[in-house]
């Protein structure tokens, strides 16, 4: 177990979903390959042209609620995004040792909250496939509070809604910007999940304690 994280003093476990608990490969493949492929077919353009166009469009909505709003992207791209996600739901996977960690935290009577920027329709698809929903005391999507996790307002509303104590909370995420905001808000214990996708190199940070695998917390 990471000595710097005093799990016996922590009462609230706050967890991100995509990349932290679930393999980001699904999302990377979905937005980086499947959506451009379908967009290219629909508009009779090359895959390369579709990818270039879409990546520019994605970027323009980064750190906004649109970024993860699959209804927005369905309208914007004239594609049925939820249906396409269902098509490749077999690629949705839980990272190794996540379930063991969640079971252990429940056994130790920790309150476990999922804090995600993902749209509630995406959460539903992923919960149906992985069955991890049963381990959470509550789930908070950025759409419920009107701000992505990168904004301090998300954390202010999350604290009011979930009633966690930031002094006795551990938050784990694979996005440095989100962790920076959580730190600014005053969450005491923070961890960066370096291996977000099983098919990509682990990410690096010099600002936060890092884990690659949940086994390190056990």
pLDDT tens digits, one per residue of 92-113: 999 999 999 999 999 999 999 9
Q: Residue 60: what pLDDT? A: 95
8 Å CB contact between 169 and 188: yes
Burial 129-168 (b: 16+ CB within 10 A, else e): bbebeebbeebbbbbebebbbbbeebbebbbeebebebee
- pLDDT < 50: residue spans in the chain: none
pLDDT tens figures, 121-142: 999 999 999 999 999 999 999 9
Q: Residue 158: what pLDDT? A: 97
Q: Residue 63: what pLDDT? A: 87
Q: Residue 132: what pLDDT? A: 97
| Domains, the chain, with CATH or none | 7-24+93-217 (3.40.50.1000), 26-90 (no CATH)
């Amino acid at each position: 177990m990471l000595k710097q994280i005093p799990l016996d003093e922590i009462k609230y476990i706050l967890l991100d979903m995509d990349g932290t608990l679930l393999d980001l490969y699904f999302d990377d493949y979905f937005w980086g390959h499947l959506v451009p492929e379908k967009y290219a077919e629909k508009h009779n353009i090359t895959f390369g042209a579709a990818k270039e166009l879409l990546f520019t469009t994605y970027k323009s909505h980064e750190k906004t609620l649109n970024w993860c709003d699959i209804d927005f992207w369905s309208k914007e791209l004239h594609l049925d995004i939820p249906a396409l996600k269902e098509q490749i739901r077999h690629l949705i996977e839980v990272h190794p040792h996540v379930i063991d960690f969640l079971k252990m935290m429940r056994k130790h009577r920790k309150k476990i909250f999922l804090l995600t920027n993902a749209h509630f329709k995406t959460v539903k698809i992923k919960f149906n496939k992985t069955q991890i929903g049963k381990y959470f005391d509550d789930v908070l999507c950025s759409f419920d509070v009107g701000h992505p996790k990168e904004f301090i307002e998300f954390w202010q509303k999350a604290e009011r809604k979930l009633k966690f104590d930031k002094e006795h909370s551990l938050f784990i995420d694979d996005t440095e910007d989100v962790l920076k905001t959580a730190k600014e808000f005053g969450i005491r214990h923070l961890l960066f999940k370096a291996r977000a996708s099983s098919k990509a190199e682990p990410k690096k940070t010099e600002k936060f304690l890092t884990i690659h695998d949940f086994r390190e917390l056990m």
